[in-house]
Amino acid sequence: MIFNSLTFVVFFAIVLGVWQLRLPWTGRKVFLLIASYLFYAAWNPPFVLLLWASTVVDWWAAQTMVKSDRKSVRRSWLIASLVVNLGMLAFFKYGQFLLDNFVVIAGSIGVRYVPAKYDIVLPVGISFYTFATLSYTLDVYLKRSKPAAHFLDYALFVTFFPHLVAGPIMRPTELVPQFAEPKRATRVMLLFGLFLITVGLFQKVVLADGFLAPVVEAVYDPRGPTVPLLLDAWIATLAFAGQIFCDFAGYSTTAIGVALSLGFAMPDNFRFPYGAVGFSDFWRRWHITLSAWLRDYLYIPLGGNRYGPARTYMALMGTMLLGGLWHGASWTFVAWGGLHGIYLSAERWLRGRFGDFKPGRGQLLALMLLTFLLIDVTWVFFRSDSFGEAWTILGAMIGHAPGGKPLVAIVPMICAAAIVAAIVGTHWAMRLTTIEAVVERTPAWALTLAWATMLFAVIIEQGQGNAFIYFAF
């Protein structure tokens, strides 16, 4: 079940209606838990068993760790949690990747190995809920937080359907306390939540799927072996930058709106990332909850910036390489993460050498555009199915396109360029503010007109009910 489907509209209307009834708080939470399981089971019912396994193991691990003073017992239960969660993630997401690389390595030393077909379906959202549950046991083990007082509250944290399959990646300390007392959205919360849902669906259905995806697919998924021309390669890559933002930010915005309509607060996951000046600024704005998770549970444990420059650069590269691998079981994702690691390391070195430099507004704008263009280069690896395809498109982007031909029609090209320019311009203009602040100072008539226009566009576009890009991760 995806947000941009009529099935979800009916599902959410029923959930919202029942949630408003004057029922006991425990009964309402049980209803929300069951609804969340149904939401997830709509993809593949047997995979609910994985959610149960992760929930039960981590619950008991945390309860046992907090009651025991013996370090060996605490460590054993942490290891059990890591083995169960990372083991399931490795089996379902990285099994084929590991097997393929084993075959290549064996072949390089003269051993021919033909394995059986690894026909395993990837459970939707497994990377997201695995990171969420791991943060629970790690925080309890490190004594950063106490375990949930009630199993129902913890189970609801894991399965809460707005964030279950594609984030934001919630921490227990952010959501579990909200289950302690009865919640029901106020009129303002409900209206703003529904507005955010409309904004998110407009980004996904109209911009990402309606205008940008066809341009991207014409170049990155052509019919037959083709080489794009310089302009086609750049337009398709810029369109993908817009598509992946509108797709993923659209999901996060919709999820935050759904939660708010029920009376719950969820953290921002995007803050106008294409208005970033520099790459550390970009990662403070892009997929914020993942960035924070990687910082707290990878970068800092790897040494962070506490042990000198060399260790810091190693920590940055290690974190971003693993962050790339988290996104997908492919070396192209690792390359994407590695490029960001190089960018962050180079930026850190430059800040150390030119830390006193204070750019003016024009210089800030130039640095923002440079940041955006370099990020576009990384998106080539993120979107390409292979290194061969990535090199072909990168070659076309610098004018090396032997036998190239136009792949994108002029009208879609102009529309894509205009949309991406509008996205980047909006991010630059709003980089120091929030959507809440903009809504507060916008006249009611203008806000109503914008809302009605977006809703009309979503209804007219309808689309094919395409899944969100990050469902694959």
Q: Dihedral sign, CA of 213, 288, 435, 428?
A: negative
Residues 296 and 172 in one domain: no
Q: Is residue 107 part of a domain?
A: yes
Q: What secondary structure, in 3-state letters, does the chain show?
A: CCCCCHHHHHHHHHHHHHHCCCCCHHHHHHHHHHHHHHHHHCCCHHHHHHHHHHHHHHHHHHHHHHHCCCHHHHHHHHHHHHHHHHHHHHHHHHHHHHHHHHHHHHHHCCCCCCCCCCCCCCCCCHHHHHHHHHHHHHHHHCCCCCCCCCHHHHHHHHHCCCCCCCCCCCCHHHHHHHHCCCCCCCHHHHHHHHHHHHHHHHHHHHHHHHHHHHHHHHHHCCCCCCCECHHHHHHHHHHHHHHHHHHHHHHHHHHHHHHHHHCCCCCCCCCCHHHCCCHHHHHCCCCHHHHHHHHHHHHCCCCCCCCCHHHHHHHHHHHHHHHHHHHCCCHHHHHHHHHHHHHHHHHHHHHHHCCCCCCCHHHHHHHHHHHHHHHHHHHHHHHCCCHHHHHHHHHHHCCCCCCCECCCCHHHHHHHHHHHHHHHHHHHHCCCCCHHHHHHHCCHHHHHHHHHHHHHHHHHHCCCCCCCHHHHC
- The verdict on 129 and 206 lying in the same domain is no
For position 80, what pLDDT does the model report? 94
* Residue keyed to tokens 């939470």: 29
Question: Are residues 162 and 207 located together in one domain of the fold?
Answer: no
How many domains is the chain built from? 2
**Residue 9, domain member (yes or no):** no
pTM of the full structure:
0.94
- Do 178 and 198 lie in one domain? The reply is no
Taking residue 457's Cβ as centre, other Cβ atoms within 10 Å add up to 16
Tell me which residues are annotated as active site: 327
CB 61 within 8 A of CB 80: yes
Under 8 Å between Cβ of 203 and 247: yes
Measure the CA angle with vertex 228, ends 227 and 233; round to 5°: 135
Q: What is the pLDDT of residue 463?
A: 60
Same domain, 309 and 371: yes
Is there a single domain that holds both residue 172 and residue 212? no
Output the pLDDT for position 223: 80
What whole-number distance in Å separates Cα of residue 463 and Cα of residue 451?
Answer: 19
Instruction: Specify whether 117 is located in the same domain as 65.
Output: yes
Residue 297: domain span: 189-466
Is 267 a member of any domain? Answer: yes
Do 201 and 302 lie in one domain? The reply is yes
Query: What pLDDT does residue 68 have?
Result: 86
Q: Does residue 247 lie within any of the structural domains?
A: yes
Q: Are residues 175 and 291 in the same domain?
A: no
Six-digit token pair at 426?
A: 């909006």
φ and ψ at residue 405, rounded to 5 degrees: -145, 155
Query: Looking at residue 457, what is its pLDDT?
Result: 94
Predicted pLDDT at 237? 98
Write the burial class of residue 14 (CB in 10 Å: 0-12 exposed, 13-18 middle, 19+ buried).
Answer: exposed
Is 6 within the bounds of a domain?
no
| Domain end marker among 144, 166, 183 | 183
One domain, residues 136 and 165: yes
The answer to whether position 8 is within a domain reads: no
Cβ-based neighbours of 412, under 8 Å, separated by 6 or more: 211, 214, 215, 218
* Residue at which a domain ends, from 137, 165, 183: 183
Whether residue 145 is found in the same domain as residue 276: no
Same domain, 371 and 411: yes
Q: Is 427 exposed, middle or buried (0-12, 13-18, 19+ CB in 10 A)?
A: buried
User: What's residue 299's pLDDT?
Assistant: 95
pLDDT, one tens digit per residue, over 408-435 is 999 999 999 999 999 999 999 999 999 9
Structural domain contains residue 168: yes
Domain boundary among 143, 164, 183: 183
The answer to the question of residue 258 being in a domain is yes
Half-sphere exposure of 348 (CA within 13 A, CB side): 19
Residues of the chain with pLDDT under 50: none
Structure tokens given for 11: 């599902």
